[in-house]
Amino acid sequence: MPSAAVHIPVASSSGSFLITPNVGLMVWVLVIFGICWFVLRKSVFPQINAMLDRRAKAISDEIDSAEQLRQESQQVLEEYRQRLAEARTQADEIVTRARQAAEAHQKEAVETARGERERLLEQTRRDVEAETRRAIDEIRREVADLTVLATEKVTRKTLTDADQRRLVEEALADLDFSVLSGGEG
């Protein structure tokens, strides 16, 4: 690439231009800076300011909203805790009541069972007594019949049924059948 420095001999100055203000440049700077200042002041900075204000407001609103949400959630939490406590109390009451009911029911069932058992025992006892009584009567009749029959065979005399019955009854009356009825007479 052919390149060579070409120095134009116009610049061998003392360097005083460095500290001498270029008036033309001053005017240019003043005008151009003035335009920038005016344009930015009118068109750009208000937009940025409005944007920052909007954002600040949005952030402020978000903070308020978050605070409100926090309060609401706190309230909901309190309510929840309260309801939870109420539910626990109710549950405890229900359990207590159920336990009491179960105990009462159990007690009642035990009582009923006990009463039924007593009733059945009583019934059984009565049945046994009745059966014993009936068996004794049966035995008596059998003994009376056998006695009549034996008497007839011994005496060859026929007694009337009424006589025979009376005699047997009298005889049997002296007998003790309490053994057969378990000691009860």
Residues that bind another protein (CB under 8 A): 1-13, 15, 17-30, 32-33, 35-37, 39-41, 43-45, 47-49, 51-52, 54-55, 58
**How far apart are CB 53 and another protein at their closest, in Å?**
11
Least separation in angstroms between residue 34's CB and another protein is 9
d(CA 104, CA 36): 96
**Whether 132 contacts 180, CB under 8 Å:** yes
DSSP of 52-65? HHHHHHHHHHHHHH
Is the Cβ of residue 15 or residue 183 nearer to another protein in the bound state? Answer: 15
Task: Using the minimum distance from each CB to another protein, give the nearer residue, 18 or 179.
Answer: 18
Determine the length of the chain. Answer: 185
Q: Which CB, 16 or 160, lies closer to another protein? A: 16
Closer CB to another protein, residue 52 or residue 69?
52
Between the CA atoms of 108, 111, 112 and 118, what dihedral angle is there, to the nearest 10 degrees? 180
**Tokens 């009491």 belong to which residue?**
100
Smallest distance from another protein to CB 68, Å: 21
